[in-house]
Structure 1
Amino acid sequence: MTDTENTTTYADEHQPRLQWAKHAPEVYKAMVRLDAAAKKGLDPKLYELVKIRASQLNHCALCLDMHTKDALAAGESVERIVQLSAWEESRHFYTEKELAAIELTEAVTVLTDGFVPDEVYARAAAHFPDEAELSQLIAAITVINAWNRFGVTCRMTPGHYTPGQYA
């Protein structure tokens, strides 16, 4: 058997439930503007790490596809992206500031256990002493969570994004 005879058959790609951006274009445009405003002043790699981590927690395949590609295009390493889902065991891959942002991302994203803990917020505030930057971080976390809700609800299909496609 040659390599050309050895093929892998993958599961069928699911179809999106709804093209929400097409049917609610003003909401989509507002989300794009909100996203652009939220990332101002944030380090591009940190911004993508936050988006990836929230998307992992929310199981948003479309956003994972998009933001891992954007992170790689921004110069992020494959290793740090891969280790992000186990960041607590892989702390040595990240700066203390990145760890504070990742921890805050989890606390803001997973609200089923209650409010964002004071100690998590205090750690983030210590590493983001400029309140404007901390506010931008919170905005970025909030916006990716909104995008994730659209993605998972409408079953948006991953695998077709090219970095910079929506820039």
Structure 2
Amino acid sequence: MTTTTEATEHAPEEPARLNWYKHAPEVYKAMVVLEIAAKKGLDPVLTELVKTRASQVNGCAFCLDMHTKDALAAGESVERLVQLSAWRESRHFYTEKELAALALTESVTVLTDGFVPDEVYATAAKHFEEAELAQLIAVITTINAWNRFGVTCRLVPGHYTPGMLGH
């Protein structure tokens, strides 16, 4: 018996549930300003790792598309992006500082598990100066807000090009 593997066509693309930025342009503009301010002074690769990990946890396909592309454009490796969802088992791919940022990202993102644990915060504080830590917390908070817009409005992934205006 012979079998052939044919490329399956994807179903026609569904439009986004709501083009929220069209209907709330002032909110969108404020989010962009917040985004720019939040990431000031942080390493772009670390920032994209954090945004990608939060987007994985939140299941935001639109933001995953954007931030994996931005991470690659910033010099991140495919291997580290592939391992990101299993970072605890793939610790050797990341620096101690990155691991602290990823743990903090998950703790801030998944608040249903309780408050951010003292040990997670203390580890992050050990690796980041206070101003840098404040910026990191701002990036984590901002990507979580973007994820909520993306998931709720079912923004469609696959059309983002690095360098486009976005978050």
Question: Which letter maps to 1:67?
Answer: H
Q: What's the counterpart of residue 144 of structure 2?
A: 145
How far does the alpha carbon of each residue in 1:17-47 deviate from its partner, in whole angstroms, 9 at most, with x for none? 1100000000000000000000001000000
Could you tell me how far 1:8 is from its partner in structure 2? 2.1
Q: What's the counterpart of residue 106 of structure 1?
A: 106
Question: Which letter maps to 1:166?
Answer: L
TM-score (norm 2): 0.95
**Cα separation, 1, equivalents of 2:89 and 2:6:** 37
Could you tell me how far 1:160 is from its partner in structure 2? 0.3
Give ranges in structure 2 of 5+ residues lacking alignment: none
The percent of aligned pairs where both chains have the same amino acid is 77
Aligned: 1:119 with 2:119:
yes
User: Once superposed, what is the RMSD of the aligned Cα atoms?
Assistant: 1.4
The SS at the match of 1:14 is coil
Q: What's the counterpart of residue 73 of structure 1?
A: 73
**Cα separation, 1, equivalents of 2:117 and 2:53:** 18
**Cα separation, 2, equivalents of 1:14 and 1:36:** 30
Could you tell me how far 1:10 is from its partner in structure 2? 1.7
Q: What's the counterpart of residue 28 of structure 1?
A: 28
Question: Which letter maps to 1:139?
Answer: A
Question: Which letter maps to 2:42?
Answer: L
Between 9-18 and 51-60, the greater mean CA deviation after superposition: 9-18
TM-score (norm 1): 0.95
Report how many aligned residue pairs link the two structures.
Answer: 163
